[in-house]
Amino acid sequence: MAVLSKPITEPKSELSLIPVIDISNPESKYALVKACEDFGFFKVINHGVSTELVSVLEHETVEFFSLPKSEKTQVAGYPFGYGSRTIGRNGDVGWVEYLLMNANLDSGSAPLFPGLSQNPATFRNVLEEYITSVRKMTCHVLEMITDGLGIKQTNTLSKLVSDQNTDSILRLNHYPPCPLIKKKTNGGKNVIGFGEHTDPQIISVLRSNNTCGLQINLADGSWISVPPDHSSFFFNVGDSLQVMTNGRFKSVRHRVLANCKKSRVSMIYFAGPSLTQRIAPLTCLMDKEDEMLYEEFTWSEYRSSAYNSRLSDNRLQQFERKTINHNKLLLKI
């Protein structure tokens, strides 16, 4: 488990900072764009995803994580399956257990749906329904964003996510209460549930129960706690969308701190493109004089490089175009 070497200073609680966006109002498209630029993060209300569906999935998720360890480890696997404490293969650890699944329901290859729930069929059905519904909402949000950006073809982003070969993932996370936080031997330090990182895909959609823990990093480097809201969805811009907007949108750094009393259960839908999709700044968003800040790559290349890195690495750095600063410097001479 990861214990922070020094106590984390209490994060700012400028909670009203987090944009809350009503996506049933078409005019919210501009607020969405602004939120992606300022924070790379926003909360969505009036989203149209059934509350009952979400509660049933939460119930099934809690049931799954309540199973004996020996049963859960029967579906342990990489990259999909059950995992505990270890995140990825490069030494990251956290106070968390999780279940990772392929969220492409169109793919011929059978997606991984664990068969260990008391009622596996219910779990599978509710997962499928949830993915379908959240994907629809995600496409709607992406279309509003594209419209807000003034891109004529409003499916420019949503079509990547609804592509039949979309490489999208659903992740269920469970952060058990962490007794260590209270122990004197720990010196009052916080314990990391999920270490700081950015999500590599296009956009991620998070729903959690009412337990706090999620924090986002602001442009000035400070962290703020995100007050949980089980009836809303939180969106964060992923690295790929940062690249496609040539750095205009920010892929937000975020992390989860463990809680001493309550468990946190979260479900995150990572909307990704197909493996062969080329990721590059969209020319329709660029003026003639704008320089591309990133080298082009395919999602498959980026995904491999993300799988081979540590959570906190700046994974986009190696794709930044080296010539930029050089040219700018020359201009200044």
Given the residues 135, 207, 255, 264, select the one marked as catalytic: 264
| DSSP-based three-state secondary structure for 141 | helix
Return the one option of ligand OGA, Ni ion, none that residue 173 interacts with (CB less than 5 to 8 A, by type). Answer: ligand OGA
65 in contact with ligand OGA (CB under 6 A) = no
Q: Minimal distance in Å, beta carbon 173 to ligand OGA?
A: 4
Q: Which is nearer to ligand OGA, 61 or 173 (CB)?
A: 173
C-alpha to C-alpha distance for 280 and 287, rounded to whole angstroms: 15
Q: Which is nearer to Ni ion, 236 or 259 (CB)?
A: 236
- CA-nearest of 119, 81, 117, 116 to 98 is 81
Return the one option of ligand OGA, Ni ion, none that residue 256 interacts with (CB less than 5 to 8 A, by type). Answer: ligand OGA
Q: Minimal distance in Å, beta carbon 291 to ligand OGA?
A: 31
| DSSP-based three-state secondary structure for 89 | coil
C-alpha to C-alpha distance for 116 and 109, rounded to whole angstroms: 20
DSSP class of residue 185? G
For ligand OGA, which residue of 94, 199, 233, 245 counts as binding (CB under 6 A)?
A: 199
For ligand OGA, which residue of 39, 82, 194, 302 counts as binding (CB under 6 A)?
A: 194
Segment 69-128, which members bind ligand OGA (CB under 6 A)?
none
Q: Minimal distance in Å, beta carbon 101 to ligand OGA?
A: 12
Q: Which is nearer to ligand OGA, 244 or 256 (CB)?
A: 256
DSSP H stretches of helix in the chain? 29-38, 51-66, 69-72, 120-148, 158-162, 239-244, 299-307, 323-332
268 in contact with ligand OGA (CB under 6 A) = yes
Return the one option of Ni ion, ligand OGA, none that residue 202 interacts with (CB less than 5 to 8 A, by type). Answer: none
Q: Is 248 a catalytic residue?
A: no
Segment 286-305, which members bind ligand OGA (CB under 6 A)?
none
Encoded amino acid at 271, one letter: A
C-alpha to C-alpha distance for 72 and 103, rounded to whole angstroms: 20
C-alpha to C-alpha distance for 163 and 140, rounded to whole angstroms: 15
Strand stretches in the chain, DSSP E: 2-3, 20-22, 41-45, 81-87, 92-102, 169-175, 191-197, 203-208, 214-217, 223-225, 233-237, 254-257, 264-271, 278-279, 297-298
For ligand OGA, which residue of 84, 104, 168, 173 counts as binding (CB under 6 A)?
A: 173
Q: Are 303 and 200 in contact (CB under 8 A)?
A: yes
254 in contact with ligand OGA (CB under 6 A) = yes
Q: Which is nearer to Ni ion, 131 or 306 (CB)?
A: 306
- CA-nearest of 17, 7, 25 to 148 is 25
Q: Minimal distance in Å, beta carbon 87 to Ni ion?
A: 10
Torsion of CA 237, 301, 295, 282, to 10 degrees: -50
- Region near ligand OGA per CB under 6 A, out of 42-50, 180-188, 206-214, 316-324: 206-214
C-alpha to C-alpha distance for 124 and 144, rounded to whole angstroms: 30
* Site residue total, ligand OGA (CB under 6 A): 11
Q: Minimal distance in Å, beta carbon 171 to ligand OGA?
A: 5
Q: Minimal distance in Å, beta carbon 331 to Ni ion?
A: 37
Catalytically active residues are 264
Interacting residues toward ligand OGA by CB under 6 A? 171, 173, 194, 199, 206, 208, 214, 254, 256, 266, 268
